[in-house]
Amino acid sequence: MSVAKIIELTSTSAESFEDACKQGIAKAGETVRNIQGAWVDGQEVIVNDGDVKEFHVHLKVTFLVD
């Protein structure tokens, strides 16, 4: 029997939503093993003087419990 757990995190990138997802998963992977996938729960951009400055993603990361 497998047991999975979900954690929520927010990741930021100055490049893109995709980069924010990759950075978030990479950082979580430093302390969490067996990551199986992630669901993007939300996205937002930070705008300053009409320019997009940051991309934020809210992730639900699923991993298997040992």
Residue 11 structure tokens:
């990741």
Domain limits, the chain = 4-64
From the CA atom positions of the chain, what is the Rg in Å?
A: 14
Residues 13 and 26 sit within 8 Å (Cβ to Cβ) = no
15-25 pLDDT, tens per residue? 999 999 999 99
Q: How far apart are CA 29 and CA 33, in angstroms?
A: 6
Q: Give the pLDDT confidence of 24-37 residue by residue, as tens digits.
A: 999 999 999 999 99
pLDDT tens digits, 40-52: 999 999 999 999 9
pTM over 0.75: yes
Q: What is the per-residue pLDDT for 1? A: 87
Strand 35-48 versus strand 4-13 pairing type: unpaired
Q: In CATH terms, is domain 4-64 a member of 3.40.50.300?
A: no
| 8 Å CB contact between 5 and 65 | yes
SS3 call for 10: strand
Q: What is the mean pLDDT of the chain?
A: 97
